[in-house]
Amino acid sequence: MSRARAGALAATALLGALLMGASGAPAPGAAVEKLALQVAGEIAGRVTEGPLAVHVSSPSPVLSRALATLIAAELSRRGLGGMVVDAPDAVIAEARARDQGARALARVNAGLERGQLVARGDLLGTWVNFWSGRSPTRPPQPAAVLEAAAEADAHALALLAAPVTAPIAVGTGGGGERPPPVKVQIASAVLAKLPSAIVALAAGDLDRDGVDEVVAVTEDEVVVMAADGRVLARHDVKGLPGASAPVRDPIAAATVVQGQVAYFHARRAKGEVLAYGGGALRVVRELEEVPLARGLLSGRWVPGENLISVDVQRWNAPGPFHSLAVFEGGRTDAVAVLPGGAGARVRGFPAAGSGEILTGIGAGTALFDVDGDGVPELATSSAAYAPEVDELRVYVDGPWGAPPKWQLAVARGRVMVAAAARLDRERAQQLLLGTWLADGTSELLVIRRVAP
- For residues 391 and 446, give the distance between their C-alpha atoms in angstroms, rounded to a whole number: 14
Model's pTM, two decimal places? 0.80
- Specify whether the CB–CB gap between 204 and 256 falls below 8 A: yes
**Torsions phi, psi of 371, nearest 5?**
-110, 5
pLDDT of amino acid 386 = 80
Across residues 199-223, what is the average pLDDT? 96
Q: Residue 337: which pLDDT band, with cuts at 50, 70 and 90? A: very high
Shared domain check, 131 and 228: no
Is residue 103 a part of any domain in this protein?
A: yes
Q: Say if residue 182's pLDDT is above 80.
A: no
Is residue 178 a part of any domain in this protein?
A: no
Q: Render pLDDT for 128-150 as a digit per residue (tens, 0 to 9).
A: 655 454 556 666 667 889 999 99
Domain boundary residue, one of 125, 160, 195: 160
Instruction: Give the Å distances, CA to CA, from 367 to 96, 187, 370, 432.
Output: 48, 17, 9, 11
Is residue 169 a part of any domain in this protein?
A: no
Shared domain check, 283 and 151: no
Shared domain check, 156 and 256: no
pLDDT of amino acid 149 = 94
Is residue 165 a part of any domain in this protein?
A: no
Q: Residue 20: which pLDDT band, with cuts at 50, 70 and 90? A: very low
Q: What is the largest CA-CA distance in the chain?
A: 91
Q: Say if residue 249's pLDDT is above 90.
A: no
Shared domain check, 149 and 193: no
Range of the domain at 17: 3-160
- For residues 25 and 371, give the distance between their C-alpha atoms in angstroms, rounded to a whole number: 36
pLDDT of amino acid 160 = 86
**Closest C-alpha among 202, 236, 197 to residue 218:** 197
Shared domain check, 189 and 131: no
What is the average pLDDT value for the chain, to the nearest integer?
Answer: 84
Q: Indicate the DSSP class of residue 207.
A: S
Cα 445 from chain centroid (whole Å): 7
Is residue 176 a part of any domain in this protein?
A: no
Number of structural domains, the chain?
A: 2
Q: Say if residue 114's pLDDT is above 90.
A: no
Q: Which residue has the higher pLDDT, 261 or 385?
A: 261
Is residue 404 a part of any domain in this protein?
A: yes
Return the CATH number at 83: 3.40.50
- Specify whether the CB–CB gap between 22 and 226 falls below 8 A: no
Q: Residue 426: which pLDDT band, with cuts at 50, 70 and 90? A: confident
pLDDT of amino acid 222 = 98
Shared domain check, 341 and 423: yes
Across residues 211-222, what is the average pLDDT? 96
- What residues contact 145, with CB distance under 8 A and at least 6 apart? 120, 121, 122, 123
Shared domain check, 264 and 341: yes
Q: Say if residue 404's pLDDT is above 70.
A: yes
Shared domain check, 197 and 326: yes
Is residue 179 a part of any domain in this protein?
A: no
**What is the residue type of 61?**
P
Q: Say if residue 364's pLDDT is above 60.
A: yes
Shared domain check, 127 and 217: no
pLDDT of amino acid 181 = 54
Shared domain check, 194 and 153: no
Shared domain check, 109 and 200: no
Is residue 173 a part of any domain in this protein?
A: no
Domain boundary residue, one of 112, 144, 160: 160
- Specify whether the CB–CB gap between 166 and 181 falls below 8 A: yes
- DSSP annotation string for 387-428: -SS-EEEEE-SSSTTSPPSEEEE-SSSEEEEEEEE--SSSSS
